[in-house]
Structure 1
């Protein structure tokens, strides 16, 4: 549940994540118009839902702080994690095609999002070409991500899946100014397994294997990558595949 009492107006032009989730190279006038696009900033408590499957689609959300997971409920009642999103990324694109959301978005830690009404995005995109191009880039990136997940699930072994996941996560965090070799996992091993199509035991066993081989140091949710080249070699070595 969103806490309406905590809604705040925020200016994109003064946000330190602007270059990650908004177009670059805008004029002063265009920046002001982008500022007007963001309706409010909302706080979402850990474990709360930003939007739910079947809910009417009205806005896209730029994550200002925190982590989210998106998930769907399978026919047998299990939660299937479909993605993890972090600060500087846009969430809610799933709702565009049918005008309702097709997954749940749940905060993995206390978070803040900037609410961008989609009808305003469409209106402004017709007038500010850079915004339209940026929205297209975001959609294209989502397609590429989906293709990457399909590759993970379709052709990679457990070691490759977890190595690719860690490399992707640390790369995204590094783009936001965090360490290139250390990270805190905001998601559980069970959630990682759901996303990667692996059992919890397999995820834990693979983490232990990486520790034994000196690739990572793992202390609960704190992960330090000691040998990034070894992780890359696991992902890029076709002989590891069945």
Structure 2
């Protein structure tokens, strides 16, 4: 069955509105923001939403699914720079020089809302709440990137994996999913690329967590049995 590339949409009827749109909007402002998103796009697993070097025209709010962003490292390998999920916005990397500087790839069948950036800029001048929201989204990206640098620069393998799992389930819980169970849409190799660890280290660390009764792992199904133990790994007593 062929999936239509675009579908008309209204933000006011979306159950993710509180995640990717400003809170507390007046009805009139919400109607105006509805005009920002004219279309949705569906992507198959492993399909690329945009490529490094593509012209920047739009932001993309993830409606369903999970994505990874990646860049090519100096030795030609793909370096995963992040994992994005429903309610999050992609494409901010293109604002700087009007070109995307990474690839965005769907890790499962997904759907995004396409938000032309020219409309965002124009409406931001008229709806201050939207402008503040865009700034907050950009600020969150900066904070996230700083967190990744801290992760890669100062943490041992077990600390990196524990921090990754805690962050993942917290983000999913904010979207109505379980606080302790997750289906890993990314491969262990992709997790290793993101965390700066070899595939063998990822597998060994998960096996140790399982042996210690901290997590239960069945292929891509992961259940956190002891969240406090993960917290202690990230923030050991006395540190």
| TM > 0.5 fold call | yes
Residues in 1 aligned to 2:146 and 2:98: alpha-carbon distance in whole angstroms: 23
Contact persistence 2:4–2:42 (CA under 8 A):
no
Q: Secondary structure at the match of 2:35?
A: helix
Structure 1 residues without counterparts, runs of 5 or longer = none
The corresponding residue for 2:27 is 28
The corresponding residue for 2:54 is 55
The corresponding residue for 1:75 is 74
1:76, distance to aligned residue in structure 2 (A): 1.1
The corresponding residue for 1:172 is 171
Contact persistence 1:73–1:80 (CA under 8 A):
yes
The corresponding residue for 2:85 is 86
The corresponding residue for 2:44 is 45
Residues in 2 aligned to 1:47 and 1:177: alpha-carbon distance in whole angstroms: 25
What is the RMSD computed on CA atoms of the aligned residues? 1.2
Contact persistence 1:193–1:199 (CA under 8 A):
yes
Contact persistence 1:53–1:102 (CA under 8 A):
yes
**Post-superposition CA distance 1:15-35 (Å, at most 9, x none):** 000000000111111011111
1:231, distance to aligned residue in structure 2 (A): 0.2
Give the TM-score, by structure 2 length.
0.98
Residues in 2 aligned to 1:197 and 1:238: alpha-carbon distance in whole angstroms: 25
1:4, distance to aligned residue in structure 2 (A): 8.3
Residues in 2 aligned to 1:130 and 1:74: alpha-carbon distance in whole angstroms: 38
Residues in 2 aligned to 1:128 and 1:98: alpha-carbon distance in whole angstroms: 25
Residues in 2 aligned to 1:59 and 1:44: alpha-carbon distance in whole angstroms: 16
Q: Secondary structure at the match of 2:8?
A: coil
Structure 2 residues without counterparts, runs of 5 or longer = none
1:39, distance to aligned residue in structure 2 (A): 2.1
Q: Note if 1:189 corresponds to 2:188.
A: yes
Residues in 1 aligned to 2:85 and 2:105: alpha-carbon distance in whole angstroms: 12
The corresponding residue for 2:150 is 151
Give the TM-score, by structure 1 length.
0.96
The corresponding residue for 2:4 is 5
**Post-superposition CA distance 1:110-147 (Å, at most 9, x none):** 00000000000000000000000000000000000000
Residues in 1 aligned to 2:208 and 2:76: alpha-carbon distance in whole angstroms: 31
Structure 1 residues 24 and 122, CA gap change in structure 2 (3 angstroms): same
Q: Secondary structure at the match of 1:130?
A: helix
Q: Which consecutive aligned stretches of 4+ in structure 1 deviate over 6 angstroms post-superposition?
A: none
Residues in 2 aligned to 1:24 and 1:161: alpha-carbon distance in whole angstroms: 33
The corresponding residue for 2:218 is 219
Task: Give the total of aligned pairs.
Answer: 238
The corresponding residue for 1:136 is 135
